[in-house]
Chains A and B, each alone.
Chain A
Amino acid sequence: MRQTLYLAARYLAFHRIKTAILITSITLILYLPVGLRVLVAQSSERLTARAMATPLIVGAKGSPLELVLNSLYFGSDVPEKMRYAESIRIADSGLALAIPMYTRFHSQGHPIVGTGFEYFRFRGLQVESGRQIAMLGECVLGSRVAATLGVGPGDSVVSSPENVFDLAGVYPLKMHVVGILAYSDSPDDDAIFVDLKTAWVIEGLGHGHQDLSAPEAASTVLSREGGKVTANASVVQYTEITPQNIDSFHFHGDLSGNPVTAVIAVPPDQKASAILQGRYQGEGEKAQIAHPVTVMDELLDTILTVQSFVVAGAIVVGAATLASAALVFMLSLRLRRREIETLFKIGGSRRAVGTVMVSEIVAVLLAGVILAAGLTFLTSQFGSVVIRALIRM
């Protein structure tokens, strides 16, 4: 048996390209439907779990899916903005705890989430090293962000500028890292958290600049009328908030008019939840309220439908590929007729010659099965990483 297996192995090794193609085909035939199922099962679990932990999300009217994905996973598709006043309105109604979120900006590919302390309590996020945010311009990092960027408390991260040619737009803000969150196996691990006001500073709605009443700023002042000072573009704007310049930071206008992308609403009971949802059913209402579980279920239905089509397609392609592989084996047997005759002539028994041929087929099938199993295992281990990446795209 060992010798016949050796002959089979030599044949497969000599025809390594043909062997590799056959093994790859069989691997894909087996892996595609199984791996897809594992991936979909994992994504269902993850999507549902995060959605189930989030009772209601209020946002500007538009795509509820975009709103939910951005609020739960900080996806790159930013929903329509709404005024911070909506958060105040929910809180004032007493129908729910209101957690405002502003997730528009990024730093080195990681989302910057502007929110309040309630968010950390709501998600059960703990600071593992350092401390919580205490002042404007500070941030705490999700564990994966800290690991990826190699930063910790005492370091700093800079928000990415949205458009370098937009003078009135978003300037990069250097934020001080004061804490690292404990690993939570959630999208929060990939986010940078700042106070809502810091997010507005990044937006350009709050800023700090040199004191225009100081003598060294005289050259930048264009006019003074009563309390109103007009300066030219050479006035020094701060791109970092420090204890020395924090007093110069200020917001123009009413904060309630500033933007948020969503408000997570956490009603104390079903009744409050129903009343709150009812308030957003009016025709003139500019905001929408989304039930994350319902939205994610609809998304999963779509995914499952797509999966069914893909699996059906994979089965058809798999059957065709298997038929082709069988044809390759049969043609190969025809081409090897002389070789088989030689083996018989020099004394090979039917069983021994058959064992060589069958071993080749079994080895190819086995290699395909093992590779498919390996890929499925990798999918089960790292599928969630792929899902996270897909959701954030």
Chain B
Amino acid sequence: MIRISDLEFDYGEGDFRLRIPELNAERGSSVAFVGPSGSGKTTLLNLIAGIVTPRRGTIEAGEVDVTSLSDGARRDFRIRNVGLIFQEFELLEYLSVLDNILLPYRINPSMRLDRDVRERARDLAGQVGIADKLSRHPDHLSQGERQRVAVCRAVLPEPSLLLADEPTGNLDPANTERVLDILFDFAGRSRATLLTVTHERDLLPRFERVIDFKKFHASERGAAS
């Protein structure tokens, strides 16, 4: 479960300020973050993932207080618990599809890349319909296929927390449905918490909860639970 309390963040420069007095998400729940651009949705995902640290407040993920961790410990937490999906997919052009899916294991010395992991990567690719494209490079894939690769990369380490930043922002309706199906399917099977930033109102009925960031924007204060 995610428990945020009295959170305050700014970038040091500029007017942006994010204040979240309270926000909770149960384990295995699906939550959509909506709100205008610049309201702090992506920033909150980065805070939960431990990529940036707040000026004040706490973020607890299960038993771990992410805000109290050192840089290295936050990275470890991210490796073991968080799957990140980006709007722009962020695949590495010089790696094949399979290598992109295996990337978390290649870049983290603490994760062991063995035959089982490779098998799981192939299985995942099969489940999302890209099994025949494992040796291709991302620039030879369609947008939908690329996002499916990115989803496979995020879920391969079996995280308990899936953070998706507009995962369907660049996809057509058919691919949007497909990617969401994959995310919900994985989250449902592994009881992972799915936090998704989206601008697409049509998708909101699929989520258990929707949190509108208007209330956290700038100096406005509010609470969500």
Contact = CB atoms under 8 A, between A and B. Distances in A.
A10 B99 contact: yes
A345 B106 contact: no
Nearest to B80: A347
Nearest to B96: A10
B69 to A, nearest CB: 13
A347 B99 contact: no
A345 B137 contact: no
B210 interface: no
Contact of B94 (A10, A345, A348): A10
B14 interface: no
A344 B79 CA distance: 10
A7 B84 CA distance: 20
For A4, A339, A344, A348, the residue with the greatest tally of chain B CB atoms inside 10 Å of its CB is A348
A10 B86 CA distance: 23
B92 interface: yes
A349 B78 CA distance: 11
A346 B51 contact: no
Contact of B108 (A6, A338, A339, A347): A347
A341 to B, nearest CB: 8
Contact of A4 (B93, B99, B106): B106
Contacts of B108: 347-349, 352
A386 interface: no
B94 A346 contact: no
B147 to A, nearest CB: 14
Given A11-B94, A345-B84, 14 more contacts: A1-B109, A4-B109, A7-B106, A10-B99, A15-B94, A338-B90, A342-B90, A343-B103, A346-B78, A346-B104, A347-B75, A349-B108, A349-B109, A356-B107
Interface residues of B, number: 25
Given A342-B86, A345-B84, A347-B75, A353 B107 contact: yes
Interface residues of A, number: 23
Interface string A1-29: 10110110011011100000000000000
B106 A6 contact: yes
Contact of B107 (A3, A11, A14, A338): A3
B107 A4 contact: yes
B141 interface: no
A339 B100 CA distance: 12
B51 A345 contact: yes
B72 A349 contact: yes
Interface in B105-119: 105-109, 113
Nearest to B112: A3
Given A10-B95, A14-B137, A342-B90, A347 B107 contact: yes
A219 to B, nearest CB: 85
B217 interface: no
B41 interface: no
For B72, B76, B92, B93, the residue with the greatest tally of chain A CB atoms inside 10 Å of its CB is B92
Interface in B68-87: 72, 75-76, 78-79, 84, 86
Contacts, number: 62
29 contacts: A3-B105, A3-B106, A3-B107, A3-B109, A6-B106, A7-B95, A7-B107, A10-B94, A10-B95, A10-B99, A14-B137, A15-B94, A338-B90, A339-B90, A339-B92, A345-B49, A345-B78, A345-B84, A345-B90, A346-B153, A347-B75, A347-B78, A347-B104, A347-B107, A349-B72, A352-B107, A352-B108, A352-B109, A353-B107
Nearest to B94: A14
Contacts of B95: 7, 10, 14
Contacts of B113: 3
A343 to B, nearest CB: 5
A253 to B, nearest CB: 81
Contacts of B109: 1, 3-4, 349, 352
A191 to B, nearest CB: 57
Contacts of A11: 94
Nearest to B99: A10
Nearest to A344: B51
A278 to B, nearest CB: 77
Given A11-B94, A352-B107, A346 B84 contact: yes
Interface in A325-376: 338-339, 342-349, 352-353, 356
Contacts of A352: 107-109
A346 B84 CA distance: 7
A75 B180 CA distance: 81
Which 9 pairs, one residue from A and one from B, show the smallest C-beta to C-beta distance? A14-B94, A347-B79, A348-B107, A3-B106, A342-B90, A11-B94, A347-B108, A347-B78, A346-B104
Contacts of B107: 3-4, 7, 343, 346-348, 352-353, 356
